[in-house]
Every structure is written in structure tokens, then in C-alpha cells.
Amino acid sequence: DAGVIQSPRHEVTEMGQEVTLRCKPISGHNSLFWYRQTMMRGLELLIYFNNNVPIDDSGMPEDRFSAKMPNASFSTLKIQPSEPRDSAVYFCASSLQETQYFGPGTRLLVL
């Protein structure tokens, strides 16, 4: 079975540009989580969905960040406009009960 799929795996962009990160959860999983990981702040939960509905977005750092889950097999995390401090690894994870399965992550560098 395919695990959680994320794209792109790496993204280098310039400050001010829009960045869209994509995630395909494991088929049958009903919860999806977006995390950000940096050396300074560790692993941070940004937002999570259950049955495609956003449950808690209190971790989203600013209005520049938005996330959608239009259907059970796809989610996006968008940053507009991007800033250098957004540079991090962004992970998507999915779960059916309480064990979370992480994707390989997107390494974002904003210059």
C-alpha cells in the first residue's frame, strides 16, 4: 500500500511568492494533519481535518497560511505571500484512529 504522498519534495522560492504544498493521505484514513518542523521550534501542528472538515486551525501561524481538503484523498497547504521565516520541513500525516502515518515531507526554502 502507498503511504502518505506529498509533493513537491523540495521547493525553493523567493520571498513574496505563493507556495502550494500537496498531500494525498492513506486511503481510508479519516483524519489529516499538517505539521511544520524546524530546528528552533520542533514539530508544530498547524491544522487538522476530520472527514474533510477543518477541526482546529489554531496552529496556523498567520493569515498568510491556508489549508483546504476538498475531498478525502487530497489536501493543500498554501502560503501566500511566503517569507524567509517560513523555511521549514512541512509534513502531512493521516490517521484512522490514533496512530499517525507521516508523509516524507516537503522541504521549503524561501529566499
Partner 1 sequence: GQQVMQIPQYQHVQEGEDFTTYCNSSTTLSNIQWYKQRPGGHPVFLIQLVKSGEVKKQKRLTFQFGEAKKNSSLHITATQTTDVGTYFCAGPNAGGTSYGKLTFGQGTILTVHP
Question: CA distances (Å), 38 to each of 25, 87, 88, 91, 109, in order?
Answer: 22, 8, 5, 11, 12
Which of 19, 21, 48, 88 lies at the binding interface for partner 1 (CB under 8 A)? 48
Interacting stretch for partner 1, rule CB under 8 A, among 10-18, 19-27, 65-73, 99-107? 99-107
Q: For residue 43, state whether it binds partner 1 (rule: CB under 8 A).
A: yes
**Separation of alpha carbons 9 and 3, rounded Å:** 14
Q: For residue 31, state whether it binds partner 1 (rule: CB under 8 A).
A: yes
Exposure of 91 in the CB half-sphere (CA atoms within 13 A): 16
Residue number, 81 or 104, with CB nearest to partner 1 = 104
**Separation of alpha carbons 91 and 72, rounded Å:** 17
Q: For residue 101, state whether it binds partner 1 (rule: CB under 8 A).
A: yes
Q: For residue 34, state whether it binds partner 1 (rule: CB under 8 A).
A: no
Q: Which residues bind partner 1 (CB under 8 A)?
A: 31, 33, 42-43, 45, 48, 50, 55-56, 91, 93, 95-105
